[in-house]
């Protein structure tokens, strides 16, 4: 495969990018229900349909639960499908989310991250995605509009791979990226066809066909249930390398690489590492550069893959580092650490007794600012020198 032709560059929002990403992958069935801050995707896809840009079946469902059920069934029948949601919408489809992964349906969904139930919050935060982390989905976090588009294409490549067959959730910070217009290269649809063509060369996946004696979603008989769960977790494990492979293929063809499971920035010679995800990583890079100039040997890891958790890549990148700071844009009930930090702490045995500092920031549309991340770097740097440190810090509560 040679490289793709130059695409058309347009200045569009993250939401519109989500719709363009879906359009380029030619889904058979789309179902979407509007919710702030995702509504523009549903609108844009409906407009594509109205303008004849897409010929997908477009189902204007009466709720998110139905959106997920519609695409789940169409996927089980053999179709390529797309949906998008956010926040309470994701929560409302929770039973269907579990069915989708349990049925091993390669559904691709975009989720514009927003705070979730408990306290009503029409604001950004990763709590929705975190609340669905045990639903059996692959969860990927993107940083900017271009990455949303690219990741949707890569998500189909991942979800529909016969070695994987799992639903993939492409996340981006709601409000921040939803409404942020950036220059995005929209590839030629023929090039996306070519990139996704290897999927068609696989042996066809199992489909639900009328007149054929077979069922989907049958009651799991004792060992049948165990076997299905075992295979599901095995597929999850395979996702990790597959994400790296697809990233390489995508970069070779379209010219953009994202590092696969994680992106490392100035980590090679770093003593300390900051881990962040989503739109805040742009700010974090700026801080890393500034701190480097001050002589602090700090590096950044952008967490792209959250489920499955990229343990091996993280161990490789973090081994021998003197201290780690993790910035979470969500909370974890029952643990004081942020969710990503909590997951990282599972790797304590491999990483040794290195200080891991948890920072909660950016909840409910509060910005993760340059001074915030600067403070994180300074505190992690002090901890690396053996000074006492606070293991969890809610940055906005201390301002």
Partner 1 sequence: MVETTKKRNRVFNYFCQDEQFAGGVAWCAGCPMELIARLTPKVLGKNMIFVGTPGCAAPVLHGQNIGAWHRMAYLASVMTGVPSKATGLSRYYNRIGQDATVVCFTGDGCATDVGFQPLSGAAERQEKFIYLAYDNEGYMNTGNQRSSATQIGAATTTTPVGKIGKGKSNAQKNMPMIMLMHKPTYMATATVSHLEDFIKKLQKAKEKSKEGFVYLHLFSPCPVGWRIDSSKVIEVCREAVRTNYFPLWEAENGKPRITVNVANPKPILEFTKLMRKYSHLKEDGLAELQKQVDERYALLKTLVNAGT
User: Which residue has tokens 């993280």?
Assistant: 314
Shortest distance in whole angstroms from residue 74 CB to partner 1 = 4
**Contact, 60 vs 66, CB < 8 A?**
no
CA 349 remoteness from chain centre: 27
The site string for partner 1 over 5-34 (x = CB under 8 A, - otherwise) reads -----------------------xx-x---
- The smaller minimum CB distance to partner 1, of residues 74 and 91, is found at 74
Q: How many residues bind partner 1 (CB under 8 A)?
A: 42
> What's the number of CA atoms in the CB half-sphere (13 Å) around residue 260?
17
Question: Measuring CA to CA, which residue among 316, 338, 313, 311 is closest to residue 327?
Answer: 338
Q: How many residues does the chain have?
A: 399
β-pair type (8-13, 57-59): unpaired
Provide, rounded to whole angstroms, the least separation between the CB of residue 55 and partner 1.
Answer: 9
Q: Does 229 bind partner 1 (CB under 8 A)?
A: no
Write the CA distances from 358 to 148, 193, 313, 325, 394, integer angstroms: 27, 43, 20, 6, 9
* Alpha carbons 123 and 79: distance in angstroms, whole number: 34
Is residue 210 part of the contact set for partner 1 (CB under 8 A)? yes
> Given candidates 52, 118, 204, 215, which one binds partner 1 under the rule CB under 8 A?
215
User: Is the Cβ of residue 95 or residue 289 nearer to partner 1 in the bound state?
Assistant: 95
Work out which of 222, 268, 269, 398 binds partner 1, going by CB under 8 A: 222
Output the CA torsion 170→173→178→180 (10° steps).
Answer: -120
Cα angle 28, 30, 35; round to 5: 170
- 219 interacts with partner 1 by CB under 8 A: yes
As measured in angstroms, the least distance from the Cβ of 99 to partner 1 is 7
The binder of partner 1 chosen from 208, 296, 366, 392 (CB under 8 A): 208
Q: Which of residues 101-160 bind partner 1 (CB under 8 A)?
A: none
According to CB under 8 A, which one of 203, 214, 349, 353 is a site residue for partner 1? 214
Q: Which stretch binds partner 1 (CB under 8 A): 94-102, 110-118, 275-283, 327-335?
A: 94-102
75 lines the binding site for partner 1 (CB under 8 A): yes
Decide: is 212 part of the binding site for partner 1 (CB under 8 A).
yes
* Calpha distance 363→124 (Å, rounded): 7
From the CB of 102, what's the least distance to partner 1, in Å? 11
As given in the structure block, the two tokens for residue 374 are 């600067």
Told to check if 211 binds partner 1 by CB under 8 A, we report yes
209 belongs to the binding site for partner 1 (CB under 8 A): yes
Closest by alpha carbon to 34, among 62, 3, 72? 62
Please, which contacts does 283-290 make with residues 24 or more away whose CB atoms are closer than 8 Å? 283/368, 283/369, 283/370, 283/373, 284/327, 284/373, 286/370, 287/370, 287/373, 287/374, 287/377, 288/377, 290/370, 290/374
Pattern 155-194, binding to partner 1, x per CB under 8 A?
----------------------------------------
Among positions 50, 95, 282, 391, the unique one binding partner 1 when judged by CB under 8 A:
95
For the chain, how big is the Rg over CA atoms in Å?
21
- Nearest distance, CB of residue 92 and partner 1, angstroms: 9
Among 70, 112, 155, 356, binds partner 1 (CB under 8 A): 70
Backbone angles phi, psi at 336, to 5 degrees: -80, -20
Site string for partner 1, 39-68 (x = CB under 8 A): ------------------x-xxxxx-xxxx
Interface with partner 1 (CB under 8 A): 28-29, 31, 57, 59-63, 65-79, 81, 95-96, 99, 208-219, 221-222
């Amino acid at each position: 495969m040679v490289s793709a032709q130059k695409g058309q560059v347009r200045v569009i929002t993250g939401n519109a990018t989500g719709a363009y990403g879906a359009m380029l992958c030619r889904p058979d069935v789309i179902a979407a229900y509007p919710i702030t801050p995702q509504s523009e995707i549903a609108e844009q896809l409906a407009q594509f349909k109205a303008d004849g840009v897409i010929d997908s079946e477009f189902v204007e469902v009466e709720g998110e639960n139905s959106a997920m059920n519609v695409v789940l069934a169409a996927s089980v029948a053999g179709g390529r499908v797309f949906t998008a949601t956010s926040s309470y919408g994701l929560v409302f489809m929770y039973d269907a989310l579990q069915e989708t992964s349990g049925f091993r349906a390669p559904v691709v969904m975009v989720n514009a991250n927003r705070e979730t139930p408990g306290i009503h919050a029409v604001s950004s935060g990763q709590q929705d995605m975190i609340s669905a982390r045990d639903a059996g989905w692959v969860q990927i976090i993107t940083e900017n509009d271009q990455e949303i588009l690219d990741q949707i294409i890569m998500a189909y490549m991942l979800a529909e791979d016969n070695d994987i067959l799992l639903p993939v959730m492409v996340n981006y910070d709601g409000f921040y990226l939803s409404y942020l217009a950036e220059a995005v290269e929209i590839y030629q649809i023929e090039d996306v066809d070519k990139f996704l063509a290897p999927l068609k060369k696989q042996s066809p996946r199992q489909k639900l066909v009328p007149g054929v004696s077979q069922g989907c979603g049958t009651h799991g008989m004792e060992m049948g249930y165990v076997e299905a769960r075992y295979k599901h977790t095995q597929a999850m494990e395979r996702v990790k390398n597959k994400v790296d492979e697809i990233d390489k293929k995508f970069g070779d063809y379209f010219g953009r690489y994202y590092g696969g499971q994680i992106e490392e920035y100035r980590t090679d010679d770093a003593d300390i590492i900051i881990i962040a995800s989503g739109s805040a990583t742009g700010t974090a890079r700026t801080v890393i550069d500034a701190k480097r100039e001050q002589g602090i040997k700090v590096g950044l890891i952008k967490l792209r893959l959250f489920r499955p958790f990229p343990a091996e890549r993280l161990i490789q990148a973090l081994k021998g580092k003197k201290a780690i700071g993790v910035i979470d844009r969500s909370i974890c009930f029952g643990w004081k650490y942020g969710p990503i930090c909590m997951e990282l702490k599972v790797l304590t045995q491999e990483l040794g007794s290195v200080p891991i500092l948890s920072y909660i920031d950016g909840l409910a549309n509060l910005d993760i600012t340059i001074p915030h991340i600067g403070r994180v770097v300074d505190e992690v740097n002090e901890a690396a020198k053996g000074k006492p440190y606070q293991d969890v810090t809610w940055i906005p509560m201390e301002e």
